[in-house]
C-alpha cells in the first residue's frame, strides 16, 4: 500500500527542481534550436530556415557515421544482452561467492570512461600491450591503429568489457526476485533447463531487460570518450561515431548552424529509437 | 499411482541435532495408501510443510526413508517421483495461455500433439476452465490461477500423488466452497492419492477421508474427521479440532471422581480401572478431563448430576450460540442451538458420561474393553 | 469521537471504487466491513484514513469536516494484513512509538505500554525484536501500537488473514473483549461471514463499491434486505430457489405449500425463496415441511457436521447437517425445508418476508417495516 497524501503544498517543493531543469535542459535546448535555423558569422545572424537540416541529412560523412553508429549499437546490444543474461544465470545465488561476484562485476562500472579508453589503448598496443603483444606473439597480425577491422574489434571488446556487467547485475536482481515456488513447480512439471529459462526466467526478466536494452542503446549510441581515447576515430574514419563527428563539426570546424541541426536530428533519433524499443517490448506483453 | 511409506523418518534443519526440539520432524512411521484423500493438519511451525516437501522430494530427510510402492525414493528429484504439487500462492506461467500452461508438463514429456489436445480439453472441462483456454494466464483471478496450477498436476497420467500446500489461502470464502467441492469430485473421479496441508480444520475435515494432525513434529492422531472430533487421542487434538476447541480441565482423582475446585464429577468405572492400571506403571499427576462444547448440555434448572455455573458471555454466531460459563475457577464453553434461548445469569450444565474424556499426560485413557 | 461519511464516492480513471457511501460510526463502536475481495473495503478505509481523497462527499469527525485533512493530522491507527512493525526497534519501543511522536512523557508512556502489552498478552516479549516473534505475536505488537493511541480511530484491514485458524479464533475473541471497554472507533474489514459474527458489533455489508446494508450484526444476519446481503452473510452460501406466490399459496417447482399467515399480504407473482443451509434437514419435523428430491453432488464431513451439496434439474443446494452422513455422488436424497425458516425475495432481489420464527422471537416492527417496503 503506498502512502499517497493529497496535498497541493508539495508543488512548492518541486519548484526548485523545475527551475533547475528549465535552466539545465530546456534553455540550452532552445538555444540549439535557435542556432539550427540561423547562419551565424561573427555577430551577424541570418535566418536560413531548414537549410542546415537539408545539408546535414545529405552530408555523406554524416550518413556514413550514422550507419556506423547503428552497426555499433546493434552489435553492442546483440552481444551484451545475451552475455549479461548468461552471466547472471551462472552467478551463485547465495554465500560469499555471490557477494564476491557482485563486487567483481561492479568494478568496470566504477572506472571513468576516458580511463577505460586509456586502459584498452595500452592493453591493445601491438608493441607493449598485454593483449596486442600476445596476439602478435602467437602469429595473429593485430594492430588496431592501422587495421580498421582490428580497431572495430577492440572498440567492441572494450564496450562489452565495460558494460556487460550492468546488464548482468540488472538480470541478477531480476532473477533473485522470482519466488522459489516457480522453480519447484517447473521441476515437478518435468521442465528442462531450457524450458525453465524460456517460460519462467525470461518472462520474469522482461521488465529489467527493457531497462537494460534502453540504457545500453542510449549509452552506446552516444558513445564518445572511449573510442576517442582509444583510436581517435581512426584509422581513417572507421571508428568515428556520431558524437565524434558532431564534435568535430561544432568545435573543429566551428560550423555552429549545421552542428546544431545535426544535434537535434541526433536527439530525435535517440528519442525515436528508444520509444520504438519501449513500445514494441511493452506491446508484446499485451498481445496474445 | 503409489502407496507412500515413511519409515523411521526424521528431519532436522540443524547439522547436529541433539534434543528432540531440534527436530522439525520427530521420528515417525506412516503409510499413505493409494487413492486416499488425506489432510496434514496443524498450526504453523508444526512441521507439516517440511513433511510435505520431504514427500515431494524438494527436501531430503536427514534420517529414515521415503518409499513409493516399496521403492526407496530418497535422493530422487520431484520430477523422478512423478508427484504433482499445488502451492499456497498460485504458480502459473504468465507468458503462456491457459491451454499452454496445462499442456506444459505433457510437452515436456514429449506427448504427441493430438493426445495433448485431448487431455488438456478433458481436464479443462473438469475444472471448468474451458472458456478460458485461450486467455493469457496472468490475467486470471486467483481462484482461476489456482485451478490452472491444479490442472497441470492432473493432466499427467503418470502422476502418483498430488500434494497441496494450503492451496486455498488466497481464495475468497464463497469460492473456497466451490474449489473444495471441485477437489473432492476430482478425487472421486481420478482415484489419485492426495495429501492436503492446511491449518484450517474445516478445510482439512471436509476434504479428507483421514486427517493426520501434527503437533511439534509428530503426528499425534491419524483418523477420520469424526474420530478426531469424538475421540481426540491427545489434548492438543481436542483443543485444535472444533470451534471452539474442547474444554480441558486439570483434575485430581478421588474415589472415582474427577475433582477440581471442590467440584466432583463421577467417572465411568472402566476409565478409573484403566487409569489406575496406568498409574501403577508411571507416576504422574498430569490428569485432565475434556469435554467438547457441543456435548455440554445447558439447562435452565437444576437436574441430577448438574452443576451450577454463572454465565459470563453469550456469542450469537448465527447458526448457533456459544456460552462462556464459569464453573468453579474454570471457564468453560458450551454450544447451544440458535433456537434455544440463552440463560442470562445462571445456568446448569450436564456432562454426559460417554462424551467425557480422560487424559493422562495429555494422552487419552480408553475404557477397558470388557 | 464519531465519524460520518456523507455521499462519499471515489472514481479512479472512470472506474467507480466507492459509490455514494453514507454511514455514521458511533463513538466507541466496533464496526465490521464485510464484503468480498474488491468490494471496496480497503478503498473505504483509505478514504477514512485520509490516504485517498474522495471524488465527491464529505467526511466528518465529531461534526467537523476533515475531508481534505492529511493522514498525519487525523488521530488514526491502522493494522494491516502483513505484520508491520519497526524491525530495528524492540517490541516496547514499537508500542511506545506513537506516544513518543506525540511527545508524551516517559513515565506515562511506560504505564500505557505495559497496560496495552498486558491486554494483548505480549508483556513477556517487550525487550525482544519483532522478527524474533511468531506471526501471531508480531500482529499483537502491531495491534498494541494501534491501540495505545486512545480515543481515536483504528482501522483493521483483514488483520488475521495471515494467521493460523486457531490463533484467529483466539484473537477474535480477545478483540471482542478488548473493544467492549475501549472508547475508540474500530473499523474492521473482513471477507468472512463467520468472522463478522464472532466479532459482533455493527456489521456493514459492502458489494461492488456500495454499502448495501448496515446494522447490529445479528439484525443484519437475520434480516438481510436483499439476496445479495443474504449471500454475502451466509457461509456456506444461502440457498436461493425460484418459485411463485399465487393468492396466498406458494409454489416451488411442483410443490405447493402454505407459507404463513402473513403470506396473504404478499402480491401474487414470481419470487425467490431463500433458506440457510443449516435449516435444511434430512428428517421431516413438521407436517408442512417442504420436501425436495435432489441428487447428491458431494458430501463434505467436518467431524461434527456434514455439508451436503446437492443438485436437481435446475437447482443446486447445500445443506449443513449435524452429525456424520456418508453419501456417494448421485445418490438420490430427499431433504426438508421448514416453511417457517424461508426468506422471500422479489424478482429484483429485495427481501419481502423474513422467516416466521424470527418475527415471533424478535421484535415484529422490523419485519413489518420490511414487508411494507416490499
Q: Mind listing the pLDDT tens digit for each residue in B278-303?
A: 988 888 889 999 999 999 999 998 98
Q: Determine the 3-state secondary structure of B68 from DSSP.
A: strand
Give the pLDDT confidence score for residue B44 in this predicted structure. 83
Domain B4-239 in CATH 1.20.1090.10 = no
The confidence score (pLDDT) of residue A165 equals 92
pLDDT given for residue C369 in this prediction: 36
**Residue B321 · residue B315 · CB < 8 Å:** yes
Number of structural domains in chain A: 1
Nearest to B177 among C36, C166, C237 (CB): C237
Domain that holds residue A278: 60-286
Interatomic CA distance for residues C374 and C356, integer angstroms = 16
On whether both C217 and C366 belong to a single domain, the answer is: no
C63-108 pLDDT, tens per residue? 889 888 888 778 888 899 888 899 999 999 999 998 988 888 999 9
Task: Give the closest-approach CA distance of C275 to chain A in angstroms.
Answer: 39
B91/A190 CB distance under 8 A: no
- Which one of C300, C307, C310, C361 would you mutate to disrupt binding with B, by most B Cβ within 10 Å of its Cβ? C300
**Taking a C-beta distance cutoff of 8 angstroms, is the pair A254, A246 a contact?**
no
Residues C209 and C256 in one domain: no
- Separation between Cα atoms, residue A76 and residue A218, nearest integer Å: 11
Q: What is the mean pLDDT of chain B?
A: 89
Q: How far is A209 from chain B (nearest CA, A)?
A: 15
A3 — pLDDT class (breaks 50, 70, 90): very low
Q: Per the CB < 8 Å rule, is B319 touching C236? A: no
Our CA angle for A202, A208, A213, nearest 5°, is: 95
C-beta atoms of B94 and A203 within 8 A? yes
Q: What ranges do the domains of chain B cover?
A: 4-239, 245-365
Q: Which residue has the cell 476409565?
A: B271
How many inter-chain contacts (A to C, CB under 8 Å) are there? 18
Residue that finishes a domain, picked among C206, C226, C246: C226
Q: Are residues C56 and C174 in the same domain?
A: yes
Q: Does residue C362 have a pLDDT over 70? A: no
Residue C41's closest CA among C223, C212, C226, C218?
C212
Output DSSP code: residue C148. Answer: T
Region B135-140: mean pLDDT is: 87
For residue B47, the tally of other CB atoms under 10 A from its CB is: 22
Contact C71 A1 (CB under 8 A): no
**Domain contains A7:** no
C181 and C105 in one domain? yes
**pLDDT score of C374 more than 80:** no
Distance of CA A234 to the CA centre of its chain: 20
The number of angstroms, rounded, from the C-alpha of A111 to the middle of its chain's C-alpha atoms is 16
Mean model confidence pLDDT for chain C: 86
For B185, the enclosing helix (H) or strand (E) is: helix B173-190
**Cell 545539408 found at:** A55
Q: Which residue range(s) make up the domain with C286?
A: 231-373
- The domain that holds C290 is classified in CATH as 2.40.50.140
Tell me: pLDDT of A1 over 80: no
pLDDT value at residue C245: 86
Secondary structure (H, E, C), B205-233 = HHHCCEEEEEECCEEEEEECHHHHHHCCC
Burial of C333 (0-12, 13-18, 19+ CB in 10 A): middle
Question: pTM value?
Answer: 0.80
Tell me the shortest Cα–Cα distance from B60 to chain A, in angstroms. Answer: 14
pLDDT tens track for A143-197: 888 888 888 888 899 899 999 999 999 999 999 988 888 888 888 888 888 889 9
* Helical pair A202-221 and A256-286, crossing angle rounded to 10 deg: 180
User: Who's near C279: CB < 8 A, 6+ residues apart?
Assistant: C337, C338, C341
Worst-scoring range by mean pLDDT, A45-59, A120-134, B230-244, C179-193?
A: A45-59
pLDDT of B170: 80
How far from B316 is each of A10, B213, B339, C338, CA to CA, in Å?
A: 50, 29, 11, 21
CATH topology of domain B245-365: OB fold (Dihydrolipoamide Acetyltransferase, E2P) (2.40.50)
Q: Which of C207, C226, C245 is the last residue of a domain?
A: C226
* Greatest alpha-carbon span in chain A: 77
In-domain check, residue A175: yes
Task: Specify if A26 maps to a domain.
Answer: no
Residues C214 and C244 in one domain: no
Q: For residue range B41-96, list pLDDT tens digits in order.
A: 998 888 898 999 999 888 899 999 999 988 899 888 887 888 888 888 888 998 88
Contact B331, B286 (CB under 8 A): no
Checking if the pLDDT of C371 tops 60, the result is no
* β pairing state of C249-252 and B37-41: unpaired
Give the tens place of pLDDT for each residue, A71-109.
999 999 999 999 999 999 998 887 788 889 889 989 988
Number of structural domains chain C divides into: 2
Is residue A3 one of the residues assigned to a domain? Answer: no
Backbone CA torsion sign across B17, B19, B21, B23: positive
- Which residues lie across from C16 on neighbouring strands? C11
CATH number of the domain to which A87 belongs: 1.10.3720.10
Amino acid at each position: 500500500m503506498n502512502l499517497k497524501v493529497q496535498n497541493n503544498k508539495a508543488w512548492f517543493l518541486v519548484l526548485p527542481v523545475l527551475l533547475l531543469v528549465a535552466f539545465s535542459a530546456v534553455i540550452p535546448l532552445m538555444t540549439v534550436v535557435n542556432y539550427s535555423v540561423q547562419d551565424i558569422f561573427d555577430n551577424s545572424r541570418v535566418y536560413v530556415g531548414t537549410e542546415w537540416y537539408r545539408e546535414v541529412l545529405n552530408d555523406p560523412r554524416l550518413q556514413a557515421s550514422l550507419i556506423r553508429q547503428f552497426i555499433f549499437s546493434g552489435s553492442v546490444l546483440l552481444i551484451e544482452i545475451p552475455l549479461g543474461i548468461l552471466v547472471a544465470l551462472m552467478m551463485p545465488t547465495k554465500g560469499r561467492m555471490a557477494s564476491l561476484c557482485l563486487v567483481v562485476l561492479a568494478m568496470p562500472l566504477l572506472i571513468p570512461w576516458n580511463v577505460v579508453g586509456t586502459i584498452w589503448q595500452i592493453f591493445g598496443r601491438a608493441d607493449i600491450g598485454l593483449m596486442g603483444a600476445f596476439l602478435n606473439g602467437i602469429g595473429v597480425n593485430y594492430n588496431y591503429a592501422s587495421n580498421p577491422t582490428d580497431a572495430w574489434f577492440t572498440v567492441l571488446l572494450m564496450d562489452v568489457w565495460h558494460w556487460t556487467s550492468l546488464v548482468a547485475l540488472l538480470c541478477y536482481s531480476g532473477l533473485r526476485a522470482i519466488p522459489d515456488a516457480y522453480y519447484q513447480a517447473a521441476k515437478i512439471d518435468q521442465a528442462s533447463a531450457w524450458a525453465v529459462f524460456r517460460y519462467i526466467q525470461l518472462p520474469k526478466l522482461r521488465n529489467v531487460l527493457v531497462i537494460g536494452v534502453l540504457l545500453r542503446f542510449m549509452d552506446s549510441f552516444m558513445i564518445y570518450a572511449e573510442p576517442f581515447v582509444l583510436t581517435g576515430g581512426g584509422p581513417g574514419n572507421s571508428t568515428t561515431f556520431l558524437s565524434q563527428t558532431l564534435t568535430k563539426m561544432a568545435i573543429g570546424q566551428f560550423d555552429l548552424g549545421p552542428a546544431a541541426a545535426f544535434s537535434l536530428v541526433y536527439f530525435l533519433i535517440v528519442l525515436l529509437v528508444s520509444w520504438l524499443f519501449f513500445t514494441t517490448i511493452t506491446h508484446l506483453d499485451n498481445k496474445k | 499411482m503409489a502407496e507412500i511409506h515413511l519409515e523411521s523418518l526424521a528431519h532436522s534443519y540443524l547439522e547436529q541435532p541433539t534434543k528432540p526440539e531440534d527436530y522439525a520432524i520427530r521420528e515417525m512411521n506412516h503409510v499413505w495408501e493409494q487413492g486416499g484423500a488425506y489432510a496434514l493438519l496443524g498450526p504453523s511451525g508444526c512441521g507439516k510443510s517440511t513433511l510435505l516437501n520431504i514427500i515431494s522430494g524438494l527436501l531430503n530427510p536427514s534420517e529414515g526413508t521415503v518409499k513409493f510402492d516399496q521403492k526407496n525414493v530418497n535422493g530422487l528429484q520431484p520430477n523422478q517421483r512423478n508427484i504433482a504439487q499445488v502451492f499456497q500462492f498460485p504458480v502459473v506461467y504468465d507468458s503462456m495461455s491457459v491451454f499452454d500452461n496445462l499442456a506444459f508438463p505433457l510437452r515436456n514429456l514429449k506427448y504427441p500433439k493430438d493426445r495433448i489436445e485431448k487431455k488438456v480439453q478433458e481436464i479443462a472441462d473438469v475444472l471448468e476452465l474451458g472458456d478460458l483456454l485461450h486467455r493469457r494466464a496472468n490475467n486470471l483471478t486467483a481462484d482461476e490461477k489456482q485451478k490452472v496450477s491444479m490442472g497441470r498436476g492432473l493432466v499427467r497420467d503418470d502422476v502418483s500423488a498430488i500434494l497441496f500446500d494450503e492451496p486455498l489461502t488466497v481464495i475468497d470464502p464463497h469460492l473456497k466452497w466451490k474449489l473444495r467441492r471441485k477437489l473432492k469430485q476430482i478425487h472421486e473421479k481420478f482415484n489419485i492419492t492426495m495429501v492436503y496441508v492446511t491449518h484450517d480444520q474445516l478445510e482439512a475435515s471436509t476434504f479428507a477421508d483421514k486427517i493426520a494432525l501434527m503437533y511439534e513434529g509428530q503426528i499425534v492422531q491419524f483418523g477420520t474427521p469424526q474420530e478426531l472430533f469424538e475421540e481426540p487421542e491427545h489434548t492438543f487434538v481436542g483443543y485444535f479440532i472444533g470451534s471452539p476447541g474442547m474444554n480441558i480441565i486439570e483434575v485430581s482423582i478421588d474415589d472415582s471422581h474427577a475433582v477440581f475446585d471442590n467440584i466432583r464429577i463421577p467417572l465411568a468405572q472402566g476409565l478409573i480401572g484403566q487409569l489406575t492400571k496406568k498409574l501403577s506403571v508411571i507416576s504422574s499427576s498430569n490428569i485432565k478431563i475434556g469435554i467438547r462444547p457441543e456435548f455440554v448440555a445447558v439447562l435452565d434448572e437444576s437436574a441430577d448430576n448438574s452443576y451450577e455455573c454463572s454465565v459470563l458471555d453469550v456469542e450469537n454466531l448465527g447458526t448457533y450460540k456459544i456460552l462462556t460459563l464459569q464453573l468453579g475457577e474454570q471457564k468453560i464453553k458450551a454450544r447451544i442451538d440458535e433456537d434455544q434461548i440463552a440463560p442470562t445469569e445462571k445456568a446448569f450444565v450436564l456432562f454426559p458420561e460417554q462424551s467425557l474424556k480422560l487424559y493422562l499426560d495429555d494422552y487419552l485413557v480408553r475404557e477397558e474393553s470388557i | 469521537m464519531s465519524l460520518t461519511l456523507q455521499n462519499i464516492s471515489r472514481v479512479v480513471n472512470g472506474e467507480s471504487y466507492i459509490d455514494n457511501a453514507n454511514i455514521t460510526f458511533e463513538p466507541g463502536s466496533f464496526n465490521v466491513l464485510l464484503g468480498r475481495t474488491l468490494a471496496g473495503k480497503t478503498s473505504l478505509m483509505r478514504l477514512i484514513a485520509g490516504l485517498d481523497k474522495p471524488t465527491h462527499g464529505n467526511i466528518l469527525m465529531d461534526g467537523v469536516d476533515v475531508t481534505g485533512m492529511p493522514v498525519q493530522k487525523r488521530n488514526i491507527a491502522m493494522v494491516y494484513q502483513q505484520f508491520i512493525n519497526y524491525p530495528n526497534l524492540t517490541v516496547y519501543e514499537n508500542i511506545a512509538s506513537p506516544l513518543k511522536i506525540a511527545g508524551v512523557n516517559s513515565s506515562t508512556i511506560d504505564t500505557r505500554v505495559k497496560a496495552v502489552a498486558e491486554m494483548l498478552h505480549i508483556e513477556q516479549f517487550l525487550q525482544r525484536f519483532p522478527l524474533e516473534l511468531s506471526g501471531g505475536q508480531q500482529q499483537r505488537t502491531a495491534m498494541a501500537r494501534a491501540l495505545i493511541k486512545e480515543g481515536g480511530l483504528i482501522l483493521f484491514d483483514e488483520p488475521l488473514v495471515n494467521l493460523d485458524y486457531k490463533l484467529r479464533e483466539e484473537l477474535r475473541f480477545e478483540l471482542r473483549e478488548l473493544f467492549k471497554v475501549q472508547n475508540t472507533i474500530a473499523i474492521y474489514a473482513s471477507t468472512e461471514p463467520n468472522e463478522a459474527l464472532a466479532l459482533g458489533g455493527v456489521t456493514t455489508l459492502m458489494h461492488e463499491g456500495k454499502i448495501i446494508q448496515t446494522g447490529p450484526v445479528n439484525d443484519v444476519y437475520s434480516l438481510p434486505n436483499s439476496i445479495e446481503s443474504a449471500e454475502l452473510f451466509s457461509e456456506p452460501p444461502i440457498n436461493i430457489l425460484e418459485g411463485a406466490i399465487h393468492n396466498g399459496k406458494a409454489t416451488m417447482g411442483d410443490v405447493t405449500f402454505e407459507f404463513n399467515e402473513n403470506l396473504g399480504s404478499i402480491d401474487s407473482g414470481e419470487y425467490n425463496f431463500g433458506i440457510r443451509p443449516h435449516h435444511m434437514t434430512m428428517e421431516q419435523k413438521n407436517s408442512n415441511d417442504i420436501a425436495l428430491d435432489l441428487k447428491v453432488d458431494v458430501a463434505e464431513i467436518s467431524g461434527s457436521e456434514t455439508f451436503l451439496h446437492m443438485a436437481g434439474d435446475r437447482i443446486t443446494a447445500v445443506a449443513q447437517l449435524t452429525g456424520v452422513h456418508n453419501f456417494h455422488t448421485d445418490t438420490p436424497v430427499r431433504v426438508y425445508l421448514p416453511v417457517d425458516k424461508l426468506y422471500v425475495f422479489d424478482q429484483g432481489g429485495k427481501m419481502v418476508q423474513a422467516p416466521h420464527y424470527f418475527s415471533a422471537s424478535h421484535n415484529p416492527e422490523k419485519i413489518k417495516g420490511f414487508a411494507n417496503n416490499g
